[in-house]
Structure 1
Amino acid sequence: MISLMKKELKRFKRILSPDYPACSEIEQDDDKGQDIIREGILKITLHILREMSQTDLANTLQTKCAPACQQKLKSKLKEKFQRINEGISNQMSSPLLNEIYTELYITEGGIGEVNNEHEVRQIETASRRPETRETPIKCNDIFKALPGQNKPIRTVLTKGVAGIGKTVSVHKFILDWAEGNTNQDVHYIFPLPFRELNVMKEKNISLMDLLHLFFKDAKELRPTDHEDYKILFIFDGMDECRLSLDFPKNPNLFGVTEPASVDVLLTNLIKGNLLPSALLWITSRPAAASQIPPECVDQVTEVRGFNDPQKDEYFRKRISDQSLANRIISHMKSSRSLYIMCHIPVFCWISATVLQRMLSEAESAEIPKTLTQMFTHFLIYQTKLKSLKYDGKCEVDPQLTQNNIMSLGKLAYEQLEKGNLIFYEDDLRECGIDVREASVYSGICTQIFREEFELYLGKVYSFVHLSMQEFLAALFKLISFIGNKEHNSKITEFLKSEVNQAIQSESGHLDLFLRFLLGLSSVSSKALLRGLLAQTDSMSSSQEEIVEYIKMKIRENSSPDKSINLFHCLNELNDHSLVQEVQTYLSKTGASRLSGARLSPSQWSALVFVLLNSDEELDEFNLSKYDQSEECLLRLLPVVETSRKADLSDCGLTEKSCLALASALSTSLRELNLSNNNLEDSGPKHLSTGLKNPQCKLETLKLSGCLIREEGCAALASALRLNPSYLRELDLNWNKPGDTGVKLLSVVLKDPHCKLEKLQ
């Protein structure tokens, strides 16, 4: 007890300075015991009360608890993060983050299963889901407990697809802290990006030495200071991590001065062995988030980018002419695919750059309505911008420009094949890009390419977004094929081959690449690129033939997701015939009723595409509006997955439908009505698989009159025990659960974690 009190008095001595009379007296004789210690505490307390008001005391403690090294750290972080990086440009000409920052839509998000589909497809899927009851989380509040959370939050994992705003959120959080605006209870913030930590992969180093290495101004910090100060570590970009992060096998480590490999330091920090009182914030793309064991994470958040009001707010902040901003917003809303992409902040910036110029200068060119057109105009604009800046004219040399574009395209394509989003100087040299001229003379590097300076990596390069890398990779692949005179007559066969490869890709990683490739092969793109690339005149393909080939693939393909992407490809080729065909049919039949209709597979796919891309809110799906059949449900399952409520009652469904619906339970569904279908016990067994998924947030499940017996009730009870948090209403009327089924469900009701309020 005495040693503990002495420790606290020494802490007071550090805080209040050694000028107070009691402080020097305390350490003179360790044998004087508790009396001297009590007397010392009393003298300090009385002196403080006499000399200082409560406000003065608070200010003094804050100042003393924040030594000079903290102020230096804040100053350095403010200097680093006050401007937003939108490509290679003069740092002082970059916009101030606080001037254009628009709050992102961040929500709570469970870890769940890894989603390997293309990230743009993930955004498109999420954009179609109706608003749920999720509570938005402000960037600066991510360490605050949500309603219903009782435990303190130490470690936050933030997920989000590439370019959605994770890093900008981190920078805003740090900047607000450095400027003294928020989270001032935190004494030190140490941002340690994974790409920087990768360089330390082979080193053995202690945590304290690692901090001193990265933060020179923190050398005044001592190993015991973490007991006095609140520290936050930010590990940005776990998807870029090249460390093993082997949580089960890495040895335990408890001392901050004990050397170990960097991956051992990280796993022990995350597990809480090292600095258990420190806060941790980790960001990652979804595919890499599963590297961290769920038990090591107190809260998972997900950055969803901009919601619809935030998109509009961004354009109004970015463009000072509000009349022009409104015209841009109206145009973006007129194209569903473009407006969906505006969930990604980087795409908003690209669109603002293109449309601000085109609409204000009253150009004769057609305003872009597809992704390919938007990216092509951005490429042309950046090239002309360089030419105007350095040559004093808007004309460009097609051959010189093509060499530059092909060099960047080669880099984009080769690194895309390797799965790399970050490149180094050697990667650029291998593709014929002059590193010394990359930021100024390469024509399109200025804003399409991003250059960052990292402490131990030197210059690090990336494209402003994955989609820009895919666009340039597609352009490189197309121009390379055209440049090969031996293959030029077979361009249509080349495009068909690329369609087949994308369809066969299970992960969908070629989906957007294919959209760009086909869009660039169109007649409209040929005209746009003519002044930019020397070889576009050789682009001769039968657009009608490739359109018919895609339609054939839609008819053959049973996967709704693949069909949806093929419809996007038709959109890039400016063909809407299938969609118009179904829309005409629906307008004639009225009220979307398809009962008894004999739709072809391609028409079913078109119907899904039409419903998913409709401006109408998909809040409730009622199968009886379309066709009361199992085939109709299976065809329209993607629509069910984007709805909040699904009424599938009395539609002749069987266990086959339940098998398909199991995956849908971990999407937007909150209410599911399957009453009066012959599901029997097999149906609930399949549904229970979906109910057990941590991502499932179903609140109401109606299974009245479904011929369910004891086995079906047992499966439901098992699912509720494993995932008891959300289901509030379960309707089992007009079934035959028997005594055993009733007993099993009764046990679940007694579980204190069970939220079930209504069991019939």
Structure 2
Amino acid sequence: MEPSTEEDRFSEEEDTRDWQRPPSSYGSMKSEDEDDTASGMEEDDKEQQQCDLEVAVVFNRPTPVLARDAEVFEGAGVQMNRPTSPESQYTMTTIQTKPPGAIVIEASRAFDIEPFTDGHEDEDEYDEDGSIVNSPEPPEAIELEDDQTMDSHGQPGRLHPDQDLPHVFRNIQEALKDLNKEELYKFKINFHQRQSDFTLKQMFDGDLLDFVDKIIEVFGQDRALLNTISTLDNITKKREAQELQVKCKKALIRSSLKLDIIRKYEYIFEGVPQPGRRNLLDEVYVEPEIVHYACGGGPSHEHVQSPGQTAAAGSLVSLNNLFRMQRPDGRPVRTVLTSGIAGIGLTTSVGKYCYDWTKHRANKDLQYVITLPFSSLWILRNRNPSGSEKMSIMDVIEYHHSLCKSKMYLEDAECKFLIIMDSFDCYQTALDWKNSVIINELHTPASMDDLIVNLIGGTLLPNAQLWILGRQGAVSHIPSEHVDAFTEMRGFNEAMKENYLTRRFLQKRTEIGAKIVAHYKKLPVLCDLTRQPFICWMVAKIFGHNFENKEAYGRYPPKLTPFFVNTVIIQTNRRLQFYYNQPENSLKWSDEDQQMLRNLGKMAMKMLEQRSPVFSEEDVKAHGLDVSDVSVFSGLCTELLPTSSGQRRFRFIHNSVQEFMAALYAFTLFHVESKNVLEDSRSGRTALAAFVFNPQSKSAADLVQCAIERTFTAPREQYDMFLRFLCGLLSPDNNSPLGGYLYPRSKDKGVQNEVKLLLERTMQTCPQDRLENIQECLRELTQVDL
């Protein structure tokens, strides 16, 4: 309410100050009337301006002269001369800076003094009650220095001029300034009904500039724009709504893409998706190591590292800086290829990159980020059984981003955007890189195969930057001349592991995270495996549950076998779900799936006997396996770089996985067919064995006895882990999760007791250097986690 007397106005406490009208928070938002107003300046105003300039020269203006009670941000050198109201990131990012030599004039609000008139006043400038309808326009804003517009990643922090806050603010103001008193009142009431968290007092307090300022502070740039358009349309101001939509088209497209990304990636389902069990991506994500091999060519053979090996310092690149790399000629990279083994965090990192873009944390200079996952492209390709359906690249983009069904300006030379194509391994057909039809128009229909070839090759959308992700066995088929930079995701280092495991429990019990870190470090093999975020999640899930529900848990080191059992189950289910389109609620292992795992275990056993962690394409086919099924779909193997002769090479994602699969093969054949695949080792039998062999016996103890003999007669560590896993699988507590999937369920405790007796006798006579491993075998067999 306007104070009635001077005494009422200043009867508040001593530090009460006059409302001060700032020149404007948004310096770049000049109205079209400004030039006319300037040209009609009175002569005495010109003389006063000249006097002000002379005063500024005399005093040299070493520091700005501030209006009373004005706030100064020393770090930015920016003066904020605004009313006493909460500031937000929006007003701060667009605050008017005062150039040297400027004079600050305190402009009182309309309800403090009567509007000044000199007989030439514009009748539209003030409403009947004296409130300002069209806010005074400020001078042009001063551009900030380049180093002040860089984000925390050293990247350009400035949005495109058609998408930034001043552009949106100015056009909202332009759309509302021509509304008469009744229309503006109707607009505000309707806006309030749609947005109840905006009070009526806020609606009607101040002038139009205050109103636009406040809605952007409260709702943010995107919501304020969308709500303004819909409210104008609702009060039948369709022309104004349409004009605002056209002027802010690029900002609206960016907003719709952001909504799609937030809906997809704000929450993450880790490990096995379960309804209602999800975490905020920002709370659990830890960026893994990404190795940059080369720009303008693929990684050389010297750079091949075994899984789990730490990347060389200096070859790492951060996630948000992938497209800050340059080609040898100095130009920015167009296409970046990132590979990694199963469970290393490729898809999760895509979500984090996109989510950071929506929050303006990084890569602000990208106008659009468009996600086109290969899994979806594969479904789209096969939507028509005849395979004759053709689509344009714009049809594909609009299919994935339904809110962008309009011109996206992708052909404009100044449009900078990124297309992310994840899971290349999901596109299960060979692409013809040499003979595909050439496409260079956005609306030319073509087959999905041809669209992908032309998009990656650069004939289609050549201005786009492209990020392709997938497993090495799949992405290795992309010709090197189409890729500017090769990168590989390596997973967590020690600090990242601890960060991931501890931050998950910050909201519950902090001490649990510390206990988990100390517990998994008791096993060196587990320390190595936790480089994979997927295994880290399993550690957090299993150990966290046990520490929360079992008071005495953690007294003994953890067992390894349950981790590998769950790894095989989860990766096999993912294979059926992602590559064979089985619904997650009805996953069923067919006879072919079971046989694939047995054959994979048989090959692992052969490679173990040959002491070779690497196997060839001929080895894969010799065991009745499909190369793609092994190297890509299984999630248990990965493809290495080919040899100089072009021979394809593969290996398990970790040596311990190979040893577990060999043990699983031996256990499964014994459990299903009562067959001992280790009987051929009898010729190497020594007097060290304490168990008396019965030629007619098909017992579990006989199987373990053969494994012990192989272990003792082979070099150390060749069969040590194999023996531990075999003993662990003979425990019903460990093998029960695979019961019903790979072999019949069994709860026979007699097998466990028989093997326990064998191990205890072996410990009494075995060499001292083998004792520790036998003790670990016994622990895997018998330990019950309390």
TM-score, normalised to structure 1's length? 0.49
Which has the higher Rg, Structure 1 or Structure 2? Answer: 2
